[in-house]
Structure 1
Amino acid sequence: MQWTDEGIVVGVRKHGESSVILELMTRDHGRHLGLVHGGRSKTLQPVLQPGNTVQATWRARLDEHLGTFQLEALQLRAAHLIGSSMALYGLATLAHLLRYLPERDPHPALYETLSVLADHLDDPDLAPALFVRFELAILAEFGFGLDLSSCAATGSRDDLIYVSPKSGRAVSAAAGEPYKDRLLKLPGFLIGQMRTNRPRDEDIRDGFALTDFFLHQNVFEPRGQAAPAERARFVALATAGDE
């Protein structure tokens, strides 16, 4: 068995004296593990850092085997991501979320979202909104995608400012007014209403509150788990601009 694919480094753990087990999120083969011989060498260690993009060739005698990776560096982001606390907490959070996905289950659309996020994870103007979109993409891959295109009550596409916690659908200001205390806020940047690169921190907080609700309801709580502590730290740093 053999394939070659592009992948983003999610995690690495030691194996034996000189090797590592590498965890990649690949474009066409999903989250995939493999053994890297000599992965703890001075040559490979800089390549095998979370956030980097590599071209990986995976080989194994049988498909169900762990297999081995041979790697070529494509984009080494770790050198600048490591200087940002927000980026490091973001990397830890996205790795935690990706590990809920079944191994070797392809998610090409999610990979594209992840790739864009990784490019900007240390950018305080872009990373927060991109991370909210990544969490929405994760929810969609789990089968809990939100429908923010039109009002659940009227079908209107105008003045959408709420999300129903029951249906995950957008609600307009007029339709939601009587129930606004029970609805989640829909930040404008999720439906194209942005005037600058960076949304207001209030809108970013609303975006994370939105994804937090549905992640807890559909991902964390059914497994008896809590959100990773790194996520709260990332959100705090991502929304510190107006403090």
Structure 2
Amino acid sequence: MEWQDEGIVLSANRFGEHDALLELMTRSHGRARGYVKAGMSRRNKANLQVGNRLSVSWRARLETNLGRFTHELIHSPLGLMMGDGNRISALSAITAVVASTMPEREPHEGLFERLEAVVALLEESDGDIALWAGALAKLELAILKELGYGLDLSQCAGTGTTENLRYVSPKTGRAVSLEAGGPYKGKLLPLPAFMTEGQLADASMHDALDALRTTGYFLDRFVWVVSGKGMPPARDRFLSTLSRLAVSQSSP
């Protein structure tokens, strides 16, 4: 069994004494794992950093086996990120979310392209943490859809209006307008405007936190609780950083 593809590194950990266990989100083969011979060597370890895009070949005697990767580096985004802890934290959260939600060996080309776009966004010199957090929330929304748990944010569940959608029902995953949800807002999840209208760049830190609270609720309900692993620690750390910065920004 053999295939070739390109993928974005989600994780790479020691496997035995010198090899590495590599996990990728690939374009045509979904989330895939395999070992890299001498993956802990200086050259290979540099190529296997989280966020790097690789050209890979995967080989195994049987499709169900772990398999072995050989690889070539296509692009590394890390050159522009080094020294920026918030960018690295965002990258770690993004890749951890994909690794913890997407099923292994199921093709999701649209999700790969979204992940590729979010990693590219992290390379932009004028980006900020609110932008990256908003992009993560949008990516999580896409993951829910890919997994068959898509939220219906097209119109208000109660009135049918498509305007001023500001809440999400935790029971149905459907949008609720500002007017219809007002009396029940304590029981509803937030839906910042950038998630349904406007631009990603319009998201504030508080907007991004609200969006991640909502997508995180449904990912936990449908994926993380089922797997028994819970929310990835990297996502939790990123949200803590975002929350701390949002509070300091609001302080006089």
Asked if 1:188 is matched to 2:193, the reply is: yes
Return the letter of the residue paired with 2:71: L
Deviation at 1:204, TM superposition (A): 1.3
- Indicate the residue corresponding to 2:151 in structure 1: 146
* 1:11-26 map, 5 Å: 11-26=11-26
- Indicate the residue corresponding to 2:102 in structure 1: 101
* 1:215-226 map, 5 Å: 215-226=219-230
Alignment partner for residue 211 of structure 1, among 205, 215, 229? Answer: 215
Asked if 1:65 is matched to 2:65, the reply is: yes
The C-alpha deviation readout for 1:25-51, integer Å capped at 9, x for no partner, is 101101111221222222222111001
Q: 2:239 & 2:202 partners in 1: Cα distance?
A: 15
Return the letter of the residue paired with 1:216: D
When structure 1 is superposed on structure 2, of 49-58 and 233-242 the one drifting more is 233-242
Deviation at 1:94, TM superposition (A): 3.3
Alignment partner for residue 164 of structure 1, among 155, 161, 169? Answer: 169
Deviation at 1:93, TM superposition (A): 2.9
The C-alpha deviation readout for 1:113-162, integer Å capped at 9, x for no partner, is 11111122363252111011111122223322111111111222112111
- What is the DSSP-based 3-state SS (H/G/I as helix, E as strand, rest coil) of the residue aligned with 2:159? coil
Deviation at 1:201, TM superposition (A): 1.9
Return the letter of the residue paired with 2:111: L
Q: 1:180 & 1:65 partners in 2: Cα distance?
A: 49
Alignment partner for residue 142 of structure 2, among 111, 120, 137? Answer: 137
Change (3 A) 1:222 1:19: closer
Task: Give percent identity, aligned residues only.
Answer: 39
Q: 2:37 & 2:224 partners in 1: Cα distance?
A: 35
- What is the DSSP-based 3-state SS (H/G/I as helix, E as strand, rest coil) of the residue aligned with 1:135? helix
Q: 1:104 & 1:223 partners in 2: Cα distance?
A: 17
Deviation at 1:219, TM superposition (A): 2.3
Change (3 A) 1:64 1:221: closer
Q: 1:100 & 1:178 partners in 2: Cα distance?
A: 34
Task: Select the structure that is richer in helix.
Answer: 2
- Indicate the residue corresponding to 1:5 in structure 2: 5
Contact 2:51–2:95 at 8 Å: present in 1 too? no
Deviation at 1:78, TM superposition (A): 2.6
Change (3 A) 1:142 1:88: same
Aligned residues: 242
When structure 1 is superposed on structure 2, of 150-159 and 88-97 the one drifting more is 88-97
Deviation at 1:230, TM superposition (A): 2.6
- Indicate the residue corresponding to 1:27 in structure 2: 27
Deviation at 1:82, TM superposition (A): 4.1
Deviation at 1:223, TM superposition (A): 4.1
Q: 2:42 & 2:119 partners in 1: Cα distance?
A: 24
Q: 2:230 & 2:62 partners in 1: Cα distance?
A: 36
Deviation at 1:197, TM superposition (A): 2.0
Q: 2:225 & 2:43 partners in 1: Cα distance?
A: 42
Q: 1:166 & 1:110 partners in 2: Cα distance?
A: 25
